[in-house]
Amino acid sequence: MVKRSIFSTTLFLFVLAACLAVFGTPVTAGTIKLNYANFPPAPTFPCVQMERWKVEVEKRTNGQVAVNTFPGGTLLGAKGMLDGVIAGQADIGNICMAYQPGRFIVTNATSLPLGIPDAKKGSMALLKLYEKYQPKEFEDVVVLTMFTNAPGNVMTKVPVKTLADMKGLDLRASGGANQILTAWGANPVGMPMPQTVEALQKGTVKGLFSSLEVMKDFKFAENCKYVTMTETVIYPFAVIMNKQKYNSLPDDVKKVFMDLKEEQALWTGTYMDDQIQKAIAWSKDSNNVEFISLSPDEKAKWDSKLEFITEKWITDAKAKGFPAEEIVKDIKAFIQ
């Protein structure tokens, strides 16, 4: 009996010593619990990337960190996200910066019509832009990653083939995309993405202007039977963390988070670009959606309407003291 208990004590000490040798400190599963808030529903790309980050963090911290995810605005909604994270209502949150255009001048410059070709390039350019300019609106938080969606197209209940078809059409968009719709003659209706489901069902809007993965993820293909390919404008997102909470983390955990920053941006951009292809196929095959390409002449007309937007942004941002020309030049260089 005594011999057996000596044996099990020795075995326990041996396992403990092995754990210490491998991990440095004794590992207690989920010692650090973090709440991560997100505003759109679980199947959408901002939440898919959140679940991927959770899995990676829990794996790479050997279970030391447990991440509780809250999709669908169950902890914080789209507009209260940044302040909610600063106040500590959630430890981590995902914000769509285009929903607060005046608050994120530098990063929202990625929403100008600058020809960002896809989400992968957009995400990397956005992160580089943030790293270079370190805008002061992020002073009270720690940025864990940034990413963008893919370029936007016009999804509608009625066919849109020319600028004349856009005239007065009520279309949902947000931030920088609104002024693009105005320039094309449409009537932009601003609201965060989750509210668009009801607006389309009720007929408050006749369509929306965003990246095409929403045709599948939000099942918009059931309402919008037409897509006009404009491939214009991306929306920038940031994942932010409460600063005090971040500062309270052990160094090895902080390192895991920082090592994931760029990797997560790349992963999300790649995932998004992939989803676009799947959503196009699904919309065509299962929902009979018609994809409309603008003729080269027509496309030139649409593009010419947007020329003033970047110029105007430069003038306004310069007046506010931002190095506006350099920011635009950087974005163009970062997407090369």
Instruction: Return the number of the residue (63 or 77) whose C-beta is nearest ligand DTR.
Output: 77
Q: Which helix (H) or strand (E) holds 236?
A: strand 236-242
Q: Which of 35, 44, 153, 264 is close enough to bind ligand DTR by CB under 6 A?
A: 44
Q: How many other C-beta atoms can be found within 10 angstroms of the C-beta atom of residue 40?
A: 21
What is the closest distance, in whole angstroms, from the C-beta atom of residue 149 to ligand DTR in the complex? Answer: 4
With CB under 6 A as the contact rule, which of the stretches 3-11, 17-25, 41-49, 314-322 interacts with ligand DTR?
41-49
Q: Which CA distances in Å does 87 have to 90, 91, 136, 241, 257?
A: 8, 9, 17, 11, 21
Restricting to residues 252-311, which ones interact with ligand DTR according to CB under 6 A?
A: none
List the interface residues with ligand DTR, window 172-231 (CB under 6 A): 174, 193, 210-211, 214
The answer to whether residues 232 and 304 touch, using CB atoms and an 8 Å cutoff, is no
Contact between 40 and ligand DTR by CB under 6 A: the answer reads yes
Contacting residue, 36, 46, 70, 124, with ligand DTR by CB under 6 A: 46
- Work out the angle between the directed axes of helices 307-319 and 324-334 (0-180°, nearest 10): 130
Complex with ligand DTR: residue 46 or 135, whichever CB lies closer: 46
**One character per residue 141-160, x = contact with ligand DTR (rule: CB under 6 A):** --------x-----------
- What is the C-alpha end-to-end distance of the chain, expressed in Å? 72
Q: 215: which residues sit within 8 A by CB, 6+ positions away?
A: 155, 221, 224, 227, 279, 280, 282, 283, 287, 289
- Nearest approach in angstroms of CB 334 to ligand DTR is 20
| Burial environment of residue 280 by CB neighbours within 10 A (0 to 12, 13 to 18, 19 or more) | buried
243/139 Cα distance (integer angstroms)? 9
How far is Cα 146 from Cα 127, in angstroms, rounded to an integer?
6
Task: Please say which residue, 99 or 322, places its beta carbon nearer to ligand DTR.
Answer: 99
Q: Which is nearer to ligand DTR, 235 or 246 (CB)?
A: 235
Q: How far is the CB of 132 from ligand DTR (least distance, A)?
A: 23
Measure the CA–CA gap between 37 and 18, rounded to whole angstroms.
36
Q: Which of 57, 82, 92, 96 binds ligand DTR (CB under 6 A)?
A: 96
Stretch of residues binding ligand DTR (CB under 6 A), selected from 44-52, 60-68, 256-264, 279-287: 44-52
Give least dist CB 111 to ligand DTR, A.
Answer: 9
The enclosing H or E element of 173 equals strand 170-173
Which residues form the interface with ligand DTR (CB under 6 A)? Answer: 40, 44-46, 96, 149, 174, 193, 210-211, 214, 235
